[in-house]
Amino acid sequence: MDLIMKNANIPQGDRQVLTNILVNQGTIVGFTNSIEGIEADEIFDAQQNLVVPGCIDPHTHFMEPGFSHRDTFDAAGRSAAKGGLTSHIDMPCTTKPSVRSREQFHEKLNSIKDKAVIDYAFWGGMTGEDVREGLLHNIQPQVDEGVVAFKVYMTPSVPTFPPVSDAEMLEIFRHVAPTDLPIGVHAENLDICTFYSKKLESEGREDPVAWSEARGVIAEKTAIELILSFAEETDARVHVVHMTSKKGVELVREAKKRGVKVTSETCPQYLVLNAEEAMNKWGTFAKIAPPLRGKEDNEAFWQGLADGTVDFVGTDHAPYNIETEKKGSTIWTSFPGMPGVEQMVPILVSEGLNKGRLSLSRFVEVTSRNAAIHYGIYPKKGAMELGSDADFTVIDLERNYTIDKDNVLTEAKYTPFHGMDLKGIPVQTIVRGKMVYNADDGGIVSEPGYGKYVERQSIQRLDRELKYETENTLGQKVDVTDKEKQFTGGI
């Protein structure tokens, strides 16, 4: 063996089972009650901490190439590893150029592949400009390169990634639907957001909460209603990214009941922060898009995560330069975004798992398994199966921790989570059998360039029963379905 992780408490449904995990050539090759007589290059003692499949952030903006004054792939990757993430899926928009063709895909990949600390996959992209200029033929080449989904903005993001009109979005849905890949939509009604932002600014509103009021729940509600209609019309798979409101949860829940191909995600900030408190305290540093909402929305998302309406959690990690893009600006002119990869897993452990809002099995689903299935990288990622990548997040459920903006590893040293007291944090992060972060011995212990590009493995959907081929401990091929997993020792 290359590695034996001994004394690991792994999830079996909602139970923890103590075992020893055998790793060779970066993959899981077995589980055993005793390691007597088994040789290994390295033995790591997990000290009976919880060991879950490596956590995945399916929604990041690591800002390279093109915006390294905000963050870098290296710094963001180190921050992610410290936060217990073993993989992330990076968005196509906050780079120069944005990823909307095969050539742009490779330009981004070549720019960052020697900087990655953890493994990564890519979103592809389509914009209103692509529709107007007859460039929708660039969809299939991106699919061929292994992108896991396509991103669409209903409101402006960056100049290199223009938003779509309603008709342009419908046209993109029609062209992406045959690929059966998800279409992730930033769901805010542009006309509503623009009108009320100008209105409140003209009325002299400069208080931070005005940002949230201008982009009210109605902007998200009408946008989600539209994309659900388009999904029904085109049979496309639609995914509501960074959903923020109780109303959004209700719309998605009802759409799922009537068979619409819809999934959704939320972010830690929409689970634990609210506009009134956080924006008045942190000002522009809590300005994000879509904006923070109210406490009733926080609770709706915990319920939505628990009952399956909300499929998983991402961070929308999108930091901005403090001096030039956050400080000295009004609530209307500052840039909307915040870092988050370092805080996602600790917050879900402390406020979700440890407080009983999430069962252990559901915690695993919303932090790794569901995103891996949805984006077609399961069971290579998001699983503890024989043959899965040996990606592990080791969590000390009893360790106390206070979030400190000055100690984050991203280039942007700010977070509206600053001062939040947590119980339970990741203490080790292991990617393909190699330690990349160890809270108790050296911190970040991996070099940039270790992280690898993860190509989509297959087309998978959360609403379908999975069936895939794995190997048992004798090296024989075995078909395993999700319904049978409770009997196979995997998750």
- Six-digit token pair at 105? 């895909």
Yes or no: say if 375 and 89 are a contact pair by the CB < 8 Å rule. yes
Catalogue the E-assigned strands of 326-466: 392-402, 421-431, 434-438, 443-444
Q: What is the pLDDT of residues 3-15, one digit of tens each?
A: 999 999 999 999 9
- Six-digit token pair at 92? 């196509």
* 3-state SS, residue 55: strand
**490 confidence band (pLDDT: 50, 70, 90):** very low
Yes or no: say if 3 and 44 are a contact pair by the CB < 8 Å rule. yes
Let me know whether 128 and 17 are in one domain: no
Q: What is the pTM of this model?
A: 0.94
Let me know whether 24 and 81 are in one domain: no
Let me know whether 321 and 359 are in one domain: yes
Residue 476 confidence (pLDDT) above 70: no
Let me know whether 270 and 334 are in one domain: yes
Let me know whether 39 and 164 are in one domain: no
Let me know whether 78 and 120 are in one domain: yes
User: Is residue 123 included in any domain, yes or no?
Assistant: yes
Let me know whether 171 and 317 are in one domain: yes
Yes or no: say if 100 and 124 are a contact pair by the CB < 8 Å rule. yes
User: Is residue 341 included in any domain, yes or no?
Assistant: yes
Residue 411 confidence (pLDDT) above 80: yes
Q: What is the pLDDT of residues 46-76, one digit of tens each?
A: 999 999 999 999 999 999 999 999 999 999 9
Let me know whether 25 and 129 are in one domain: no
pLDDT at 485: 34
Q: What is the pLDDT of residues 363-398, one digit of tens each?
A: 999 999 999 999 999 999 999 999 999 999 999 999
Q: What is the pLDDT of residues 291-306, one digit of tens each?
A: 999 999 999 999 999 9
* 3-state SS, residue 248: helix
pLDDT at 157: 82
pLDDT at 464: 57
pLDDT at 460: 79
Average pLDDT on 307-326 reads 97
Helix 217-234 / helix 166-176 crossing angle, nearest 10 deg: 40
pLDDT at 474: 34
User: Is residue 120 included in any domain, yes or no?
Assistant: yes
Let me know whether 381 and 270 are in one domain: yes
For residues 291 and 475, what is the distance between their CA atoms, to the nearest angstrom?
51
- Give the dihedral of Cα atoms 245, 305, 147, 136; nearest 10 deg: -30
User: Is residue 456 included in any domain, yes or no?
Assistant: no
**Enclosing domain of residue 31:** 3-45
Phi, psi of 278 (to 5 degrees): -70, -40
User: Is residue 210 included in any domain, yes or no?
Assistant: yes
Q: Give the DSSP H/E element, type plus range, for residue 238.
A: strand 238-240
For residues 352 and 485, what is the distance between their CA atoms, to the nearest angstrom?
24
pLDDT at 328: 86
Query: Mean pLDDT in the chain?
Result: 94
User: Is residue 481 included in any domain, yes or no?
Assistant: no
pLDDT at 478: 37
CATH number assigned to the domain comprising residue 214: 3.20.20.140
Taking the alpha carbons of 477, 482, 487, 491 in that order, is the dihedral positive or negative? positive
Yes or no: say if 252 and 303 are a contact pair by the CB < 8 Å rule. no
DSSP letters along 423-436, please?
EEEEEEEEETTEEE
Let me know whether 25 and 170 are in one domain: no
Count of domains observed in the chain: 2
> Within a 10 A sphere around the Cβ of 433, how many other Cβ atoms?
23
User: Is residue 227 included in any domain, yes or no?
Assistant: yes
Residue 192 confidence (pLDDT) above 80: yes
Residue 177 DSSP label: G
**463 confidence band (pLDDT: 50, 70, 90):** low
Let me know whether 280 and 131 are in one domain: yes
User: Is residue 195 included in any domain, yes or no?
Assistant: yes
% residues pLDDT > 90 (the chain): 92
Boundary residue ending a domain (425, 444, 463): 444
DSSP letters along 107-138, please?
HHHHHHTTT-SSEEEE-EE--HHHHHTT-GGG
**CA-based nearest residue to 415, from 325, 343, 473, 361:** 343
* 3-state SS, residue 21: strand
Let me know whether 34 and 69 are in one domain: no
